[in-house]
Amino acid sequence: MEGPSDQTWHKTACILCESNCGIEVRLDGRRFARIRGNKEHVSSKGYTCEKALRLDSYQNHRARLTSPMRRRPDGSYEEVDWDTAIAEVAERLAAVRDAYGGATIFRYGGGGQGNHLGGMYGASVANVLGVQYRSNAIAQEKTGEAFVEARLYRAHTRADFEHAEVAVFLGKNPWQSHGFPEARRILRAIANDSERAMIVIDPRRTKTAELADHHLAVRPGTDAFCVAAILAIMVRDDLIDHDFLAERVEEIEPVLDAVREVSISDFSARCGIAVSELETVAQRIGRASSVAIFEDLGVQQGPNSTLVSYLQRLIWILRGSFAKPGSIHPHSAFAPLLSSGDMGGKRSRPKATPVTGAPIIAGLIPCNSIAEEVLTDHPDRFRAMIIESANPVHSLADSPRFREAMDALEFSVVIDVAMTETARRADYVLPASSQYEKPEAVFFNFEFPDNVFYLRKPVLPPMPGTLSEPEIHARLVEALGAYTSDDLTPLRAAAESGRAEFAAAFFAAVEAKPSLAGVGAAVLYRTLGPTLPEGCAEGAALWFVAQRCAGAYPEAVRRAGIEPNGAGLGDALFDKVIASDDGVVFTSHLHEEAWDLLGSADNKIHANIPQLVEMLQALPDAPAGHTTAEFPLVLSAGERRSSTANTIFRDPGWRKADQEGALAMSSADAAAHGLVDGDRVRLRTAAGSAEPTVRVDDAMQPGHISLPNGLGLDYPDEDGEHFRSGVSPNELTSLGWQDEIALTPWHKHVPARLEPMTG
Ligand SMILES: Nc1nc2c(c(=O)[nH]1)N[C@H]1C(S)=C(S)[C@@H](COP(=O)(O)OP(=O)(O)OC[C@H]3O[C@@H](n4cnc5c(=O)[nH]c(N)nc54)[C@H](O)[C@@H]3O)O[C@H]1N2
Ligand SMILES: Nc1nc2c(c(=O)[nH]1)N[C@H]1C(S)=C(S)[C@@H](COP(=O)(O)OP(=O)(O)OC[C@H]3O[C@@H](n4cnc5c(=O)[nH]c(N)nc54)[C@H](O)[C@@H]3O)O[C@H]1N2
Ligand code: SF4
Ligand SMILES: [Mo]
């Protein structure tokens, strides 16, 4: 944390995708002068992709906020000081709570690809206000998968590609999107090993597909047919691990009966993959000692997505590819990603949304329902929103509808580092310190048998005018009167004397005043925080998390080399997390212990999900496609490229190529529309239109066109005039276009047409 000509390499992490590779940064003043991978990082071991080198564009740019902003009646913003902002935000939130109840205050976000600590403290504010409903981006991608996993075995799983004999990527392009440690190294290793095989199911010939042994270029939106046909071949040819099914799986028979009914030739015709090719793939999976599968947005944001999440799991269930090297595994959790973050014990949570009755999965209301929970005269409608570290106006389907919803609220506050599209609709905007100006961490800790957690320390002091989320939330909690300084004084004293004393005092205080549990994160920040090493106070809430983690997996924590200190195993784990600069292996499991990580009462897999088996049986009657004469093309609105990183980078200057995010299309489609590379075209969907430039790309199949994600952000030029670079994909998407179970949007499957540019 020194001035110019600082020769120190500061350890931190890349925040652009869930891999969070460890990096080292050299500073020139406040600029990131050099960036390299951190070879000592226990998970990424020095690996990065090219995007990490651009992180200065996140840390330093013209749209960063340096003062709380208050919206004037004419829609412009004025700067206000922090005391005013905190007092007024607390007062306005309390007024909504008092008039209509805390359940009408909705909370969105709480973390992005690199930052989940803030959300823990945000839970303190939510708890004081009695907030009941929340959501985040996960509820427009992963809730279908969560629905399936909750029914199969009550656990979250990932796959071990490092050791898998056969790797399957289903609507996933890890060469560009990563999603597991050292993704490109592992993809290359599989591609170079003749004993192993890679299968990619993607309509597009992606970079990953180029490396694959088998690329199944399905027709967009037909994955359910493709995966069901593979399953049917496995059952027909008896490529099944019967011992595994007998020992570990309940109720497989009704599922196998439904799979036997699948017409392989009909489904092959529907997905556009020859039966012989499906057979080759089924047989390669069928003779493998291990198969690892990763499904992602290509199927999670398209037709039949929850059904596909189910069917792909049946592949590895039939193969018994679970709980051994190279297979699927559950994992420990340092802090549960989907928990409400409160410390007040189990509270019963609503199962459906108050207005539209949409299903709440994994505690999250479907992103597609949020605006509809506002834009109604229903008495229980959402009246206020707290939005943190998310840009829903840009990232959720139907941007105009979300803007309308924000405008209809009685109150809204956004906590962000930048003046985003969402911030521009809020009553107050509170400027957070960047992820390199405070301690941060993610709860994307999905590894097995050794799982890793990394608390990174600040590289720079906070930008003047900004505060960390823990500080912002603690101030809000205090303005809302959740505790008094008398409540905290004994805890502060105990924290000074020692950790065992602190634990005793903390639990005694919560017992005497149970409401303190709901604001436990803020209490820890104010009491334990000041006793932690410099720059670590924001890590204080992890003390409770570490206790819970050590309590949940004591043997695996010990096996990871953590021994109880004077205050116990949880404190030893916490101390190690605070002290480490390279990430900590916090649990080390044995493979057979995977079964204990399942949440099902009998630690078995329960294969039969009747609702989804019925959907499988109804597939032959499904429509052949969703395009029409009016909208004959399928647009994938949001492809991951090396030039995209959600909306974390706002300055378009970070992009060295593909500046405006071209619309990719096959040469056949280009020719049919009289287009050549670099032309501009009008792209129209039922929801709206845009004018992207064209890139002719024969990785695309005819009829399928693709736009990148994360573009179309407003950014000020040198004179402060805003300009927009590229297409904002959700100006083109519609809310009703969604999965029937999880209500996740079909971002990857939007019917569209191309028109010549006029004028
Ligand atoms: N470079 C980069 N990396 C990122 C991100 C980023 O913005 N940029 N974002 C991160 C985030 S938030 C996420 S969730 C992940 C997402 O990671 P991915 O899911 O891998 O990313 P996408 O490119 O959105 O979609 C994957 C693939 O789905 C294919 N697809 C489209 N339609 C269909 C279909 O009908 N069936 C099948 N089988 N495939 C189809 C597309 O051609 C595409 O190759 O990436 C993360 N990593
Ligand atoms: N059409 C279409 N829409 C999509 C997708 C698609 O493929 N197509 N992909 C979807 C997916 S998978 C995802 S994950 C979402 C992502 O969309 P969002 O969840 O909205 O999140 P991000 O774009 O990652 O932006 C995160 C926000 O956090 C802010 N931020 C960065 N650092 C900090 C910090 O330290 N503190 C605070 N308070 N704020 C910070 C950034 O400025 C930014 O506004 O988009 C979804 N939307
Ligand atoms: S974008 Fe993802 S894979 Fe690339 S360096 Fe950052 S965290 Fe690692
Ligand atoms: Mo995502």
3-state secondary structure string across 447-514: CCCEEEECCECCCCCCCCCCECHHHHHHHHHHHCCCCCHHHHHHHHHHHHHCHHHHHHHHHHHHHHCC
Q: Whose CA is nearest to atom 11 of ligand 1?
A: 17
| pLDDT for 448 | 97
Q: Is 532 in the pocket of ligand 3 (CB under 6 A)?
A: no
Please provide the distance, in angstroms rounded to a whole number, between the alpha carbons at the two ends of the chain: 54
Q: Which residue has the tokens 């005694």?
A: 508
CA count, 13 A, side-chain hemisphere, 688: 18
Exposed/middle/buried for residue 618 (C-beta within 10 Å: 0-12, 13-18, 19+): exposed
Q: Which ligand is nearest to the CA of 51?
A: 3
Q: Is 297 in the pocket of ligand 1 (CB under 6 A)?
A: yes
Atom of ligand 2 nearest to the CA of 730: 1
How close is the Cα of 455 to the center of ligand 1, in Å?
27
The answer to whether the predicted template modeling score (pTM) of the entire model surpasses 0.85 is yes
- Edge-to-edge strand list for the sheet holding 166-170: 214-216, 197-201, 166-170, 291-295
With b for 16 or more beta-carbon neighbours within 10 A and e for fewer, the 219-242 pattern comes to: bbbbbbbbbbbbbbbbbeeebbbe
What is the rounded distance in angstroms from the CA atom of residue 273 to the CA atom of residue 226?
Answer: 8
Residue 283 — left, alpha, or beta (φ > 0 → left; ψ -120 to 50 → alpha)? Answer: alpha
How close is the Cα of 745 to the center of ligand 4, in Å?
12
Q: Is 51 in the pocket of ligand 3 (CB under 6 A)?
A: yes
Q: Is 459 in the pocket of ligand 3 (CB under 6 A)?
A: no
Residue 568 — left, alpha, or beta (φ > 0 → left; ψ -120 to 50 → alpha)? Answer: left
| Contact by Cβ (8 Å): 734, 396 | no
Of the candidates 560, 684, 559, which has an alpha carbon nearest to the alpha carbon of residue 632? 684
As separate numbers, helices (DSSP H) first and strands (DSSP E) second, the chain gives: 26, 29
Positions in the chain whose pLDDT score sits under 50: 1-3, 340-345
Q: Is 593 in the pocket of ligand 2 (CB under 6 A)?
A: no
Q: Which two tokens stand for residue 158?
A: 């990932």
User: Cα dist. 513→144, 342, 348, 520 in Å?
Assistant: 39, 15, 21, 11
Q: Is 639 in the pocket of ligand 1 (CB under 6 A)?
A: yes
Q: Is 239 in the pocket of ligand 3 (CB under 6 A)?
A: no
**CB contact set of 473 (below 8 Å; sequence gap of 6+):** 118, 121, 122, 124, 125, 521, 522
What is the rounded distance in angstroms from the CA atom of residue 324 to the CA atom of residue 160?
Answer: 9
Orientation of helix 485-497 relative to helix 520-527, angle to 10°: 60
CA angle, residues 403, 407, 410, in degrees to nearest 5: 140
Mutate to test the pocket of ligand 2, among 416, 456, 651, 735 (most ligand atoms within 8 A of CB): 416
| Contact by Cβ (8 Å): 638, 297 | yes
Q: DSSP H helical segments within 101-222, as ranges?
A: 117-129, 143-152, 174-177, 183-191, 207-211
Q: Is 571 in the pocket of ligand 1 (CB under 6 A)?
A: no
CA 218 remoteness from chain centre: 26
How close is the Cα of 14 to the center of ligand 3, in Å?
6
Secondary structure (3-state) at 693: strand
Q: Is 333 in the pocket of ligand 3 (CB under 6 A)?
A: no
How close is the Cα of 173 to the center of ligand 1, in Å?
6
Q: Is 141 in the pocket of ligand 2 (CB under 6 A)?
A: yes
| pLDDT for 758 | 72
User: Cα dist. 536→32, 464, 470, 511, 528 in Å?
Assistant: 21, 19, 11, 27, 10
Q: Is 23 in the pocket of ligand 3 (CB under 6 A)?
A: no
Mutate to test the pocket of ligand 3, among 12, 19, 32 (most ligand atoms within 8 A of CB): 19
DSSP code at position 603: S
Mutate to test the pocket of ligand 3, among 17, 24, 39, 186 (most ligand atoms within 8 A of CB): 17
Q: Whose CA is nearest to atom 45 of ligand 1?
A: 177
Q: Whose CA is nearest to atom 46 of ligand 2?
A: 395
Peptide bond into 449 cis (omega under 30): yes
CA 184 remoteness from chain centre: 20
**CB contact set of 538 (below 8 Å; sequence gap of 6+):** 117, 438, 439, 440, 468, 469, 470, 471, 525, 529
Q: Whose CA is nearest to atom 5 of ligand 3?
A: 48
Mutate to test the pocket of ligand 1, among 297, 646, 697, 709 (most ligand atoms within 8 A of CB): 297
What is the rounded distance in angstroms from the CA atom of residue 385 to the CA atom of residue 372?
Answer: 14
Q: Which two tokens stand for residue 647?
A: 């909306």
DSSP code at position 718: T
How close is the Cα of 440 to the center of ligand 2, in Å?
17
Q: Is 145 in the pocket of ligand 1 (CB under 6 A)?
A: no
How close is the Cα of 451 to the center of ligand 4, in Å?
21
Pairing of strands 249-250, 605-606: parallel
Q: Whose CA is nearest to atom 5 of ligand 2?
A: 638
**CB contact set of 268 (below 8 Å; sequence gap of 6+):** 225, 229, 274, 275, 278
Which residue type, as a one-letter code, is found at position 4? P
Q: Is 186 in the pocket of ligand 3 (CB under 6 A)?
A: no
With b for 16 or more beta-carbon neighbours within 10 A and e for fewer, the 330-350 pattern comes to: bbbbbbbbbbbbbbbeeeeee
Q: Is 392 in the pocket of ligand 2 (CB under 6 A)?
A: yes
Q: Which two tokens stand for residue 432?
A: 């957070």
**CB contact set of 56 (below 8 Å; sequence gap of 6+):** 31, 32, 35
Q: Is 291 in the pocket of ligand 3 (CB under 6 A)?
A: no
Q: Is 202 in the pocket of ligand 1 (CB under 6 A)?
A: yes
User: Cα dist. 757→630, 682, 690, 702, 737 in Å?
Assistant: 17, 6, 10, 21, 27
Atom of ligand 2 nearest to the CA of 113: 24
Exposed/middle/buried for residue 701 (C-beta within 10 Å: 0-12, 13-18, 19+): buried
| pLDDT for 341 | 42
Of the candidates 311, 258, 146, which has an alpha carbon nearest to the alpha carbon of residue 614? 258
| pLDDT for 360 | 97
Exposed/middle/buried for residue 608 (C-beta within 10 Å: 0-12, 13-18, 19+): middle
Which contacts qualify for 314-317: CB closer than 8 Å, 24 or more apart?
314/231, 314/255, 314/259, 314/607, 315/168, 315/227, 315/230, 315/231, 315/234, 315/285, 315/291, 316/291, 316/292, 317/152, 317/245, 317/249, 317/252, 317/605, 317/607
How close is the Cα of 367 to the center of ligand 1, in Å?
18
How close is the Cα of 546 to the center of ligand 1, in Å?
33
Q: Is 200 in the pocket of ligand 1 (CB under 6 A)?
A: no
Residues in the chain: 759
Orientation of helix 610-618 relative to helix 253-260, angle to 10°: 10
Q: Is 21 in the pocket of ligand 3 (CB under 6 A)?
A: yes
CA angle, residues 332, 328, 569, in degrees to nearest 5: 15
For residue 299, the tally of other CB atoms under 10 A from its CB is: 30
Of the candidates 391, 21, 290, which has an alpha carbon nearest to the alpha carbon of residue 178? 21
Q: Which residue has the tokens 């590379």?
A: 677
Mutate to test the pocket of ligand 1, among 202, 207, 395, 641 (most ligand atoms within 8 A of CB): 202
Q: Which residue has the tokens 């990131």?
A: 32
With b for 16 or more beta-carbon neighbours within 10 A and e for fewer, the 244-254 pattern comes to: bbeebbeebee
